[in-house]
Amino acid sequence: MGIAVSPQIHPQVADFIEKPRKMLINGNWVSAASGKTFPTYNPATGEVLAQVAEGDREDIEQAVKAARKAFDHGPWRKMTASERGRLIWKLADLLEAHTEEFGYIESLDNGKPLGIAKAADVPLAADLFRYMAGWATKIEGNTIPISVPYTPGAKYLAYTLREPVGVVGQIIPWNFPLLMAAWKLGPALATGCTVVLKPAEQTPLSALRLGELIMEAGFPEGVVNIVPGYGETAGAALAAHPDVDKVAFTGSTEVGKLIVHAAAGNLKKVSLELGGKSPNVVFKDADLDAAIPGSASAIFFNHGQCCCAGSRLYVEKSIYDRVVEGVAEQARKIRLGSGLDPETQMGPLVSKEQLDRVCGYLEAGFSEGAKAITGGHQSGNKGYFVEPTVLVNTQENMKVVKEEIFGPVVAAMPFSDPEEILPRANDSTYGLAAAVWTRDINKAHRVAEQLRAGTVWINCYNIFDAALPFGGYKQSGWGREMGHDVLNLYTQTKAVCANLAA
């Protein structure tokens, strides 16, 4: 350990990964109750990057206890909304001041290019915290004129309070480790909840470093607890815990269903951001200079490890060859390499498991008759690299068209009639995102209305903003993150009714 980044390159990061990382419970950095640690790997090399405390049921127990105490009895609930907002803003400032360091941690742990982590992941996370800091003072109830027909002549004052939902368990994935932590923590803190956060076992490091900044910012002990560990142990214990009021999960649809079952015991509130198989529709009247690179980045951004990746590329027949060849050309130009190499445009997949999964899908595609016009294989034999791949000869019923691959693999299909495309685009158990490329604004908005997806991009893709709600239709999830919509997931409404009898 410690060799992944030399102290000359980044002394703080070298130091951070050199020591076994502990978990944050009740404001203290502690080892796992079992004393166990687990390794996290550098996906560019397959070598162990750092050792991390392995949280399990007992650690979750302690973390939930701390979050409960902080919610029920700590100074957190007595703080004004303005004080809460200022703390969140301070966290954003601290995060931004450590952009370089978080860029390295994210690149080493997840594999993504350092430049992208610094230009996208870290600033988006800081921006999310700032956006949510602003909301802390703007969460308002209503006064409600009530009539109550069975009490003629009576007068009431009725109003609603929006109160924090309580102790929140948050389980996040490995594709945007820091950003997903921000998406979850930001609204929980803005609304006054307390949190037990479980980062993904593949990428726990940036959340743990963020925990240090949370304490440095001055959040009271127990408000944020961070327990790294595996999903089937720590994650399952958190989702099932009877003293957790809400669980927020981002990950696979399969695990999302397990979360729903686990939450049933105490009927905790559940929000889910799950998988996708998003259609990206290019009409013949599109600006192809924008649509071709846009469709390439729709699938290849973050190595295809985006739940909203544009993995089904539908192109109107007369421009099909040109668009598909154009996307393939873009794919061929992508430089694969270690995230720390400044020339790298695409890093490795996050893990051996993902590499095997994506290669398994490619094999399944080939055996069903799909053909790769570029890519189609693992790249090199060190680290977990997969060639950016464009599949043609694909049919709607193939595995590679129906199922989420979560890798740099797009299935291209022609369509001949604009009327035909909507049912095909909507023919999915998922409904997270979709895109349409056309110069016809009427068509663009008509199609946007009819696509069954939580986000529709018109002449763009992967545009995210803290103010824009994100979430899924159908089996892509429950609830919306970001925007003011997310506040509903972390608050509950209390109706207060006062009799103003003289």
Name the site residues for ligand ADP (rule: CB under 6 A). Answer: 171-173, 198, 200-201, 230-232, 235-236, 239, 251-252, 255, 258-259
Q: Which is nearer to ligand ADP, 109 or 221 (CB)?
A: 109
User: Which CB atom, from 294 or from 431, has the smaller least distance to ligand ADP?
Assistant: 431
Cβ–Cβ under 8 Å, residues 476 and 430: yes
Structure tokens at 322: 């040109």
| Minimum CB distance to ligand ADP, residue 386 (Å) | 15
Q: What is the per-residue DSSP string for 140-209?
A: ---B-----TTSTT--EEEEEEEEE--EEEEE--SSSHHHHHHHHHHHHHHHT-EEEEE--TT--HHHHH
The CA angle 275-280-281, to the nearest 5 degrees, is 145
Whichever of 171 and 435 has its CB closer to ligand ADP, that residue is: 171
Token readout for 285 is 């009247």
Integer Rg of the chain from CA: 24
Q: Which is nearer to ligand ADP, 258 or 281 (CB)?
A: 258
Q: How far is the CB of 364 from ligand ADP (least distance, A)?
A: 17
d(C-alpha 385, C-alpha 404), whole Å: 18
Provide CB contacts within 8 A for 167, sequence distance 6+.
64, 67, 68, 71, 193, 194, 195, 196, 243, 244, 245, 246
Q: Where are the alpha helices (DSSP H) in 1-80?
A: 11-18, 57-72
For residue 273, the surrounding DSSP H or E stretch is strand 269-273
Least distance in Å: CB of 231 to ligand ADP?
Answer: 2
Query: Which of the 8 DSSP states describes residue 100?
Result: H
**Which H or E element spans position 401?**
helix 399-402
Cβ distance to ligand ADP smaller for residue 108 or 307: 307
Give the residue nearest to ligand ADP (CB): 231
What is the C-alpha separation between 381 and 363, in angstroms, rounded? 18
Closer Cβ to ligand ADP, 177 or 192, answer by number: 177
Query: Residue 232 or residue 321: which is nearer to ligand ADP going by CB?
Result: 232
Residues in the chain: 502
How near is the Cβ of 343 to ligand ADP at its closest, in Å? 28
Q: Closer to ligand ADP at the Cβ: 168 or 291? A: 168
- Please, are residues 357 and 304 in contact by the beta-carbon 8 Å criterion? no
Q: What are phi and psi of 470, to 5 degrees?
A: -135, 130
120 to 99, 113, 128, 133, 249: CA distances (angstroms): 10, 10, 12, 20, 22
Q: How is residue 220 annotated by DSSP?
A: P
Distances (CA, A) of 448 to 434, 441, 456: 8, 10, 6
Q: What distance, in Å, lies between the first and last C-alpha atoms of the chain?
A: 75
Q: In the complex, what is the shortest distance from the CB of residue 256 to ligand ADP, in angstroms, rounded to a whole number?
A: 7
Which residue number, 117 or 171, has a Cβ lying nearer to ligand ADP?
171
Q: For residue 303, which of 105, 48, 49, 111 has the smallest C-alpha distance?
A: 111
C-beta of 232: minimal distance to ligand ADP in Å? 5
Structure tokens at 495: 């109706």
Distance in Å, CB of 459 to ligand ADP, minimum: 30
Q: List residues with catalytic annotation.
A: 273, 307
**Least distance (Å) between residue 255 CB and ligand ADP:** 3
What string of H, E and C letters represents the secondary structure of 230-272? Answer: CHHHHHHHHHHCCCCCEEEEECCHHHHHHHHHHHCCCCCEEEE
Closest separation between CB of residue 135 and ligand ADP, Å? 26
Contact call for residues 82 and 76 (beta carbons, < 8 A): no
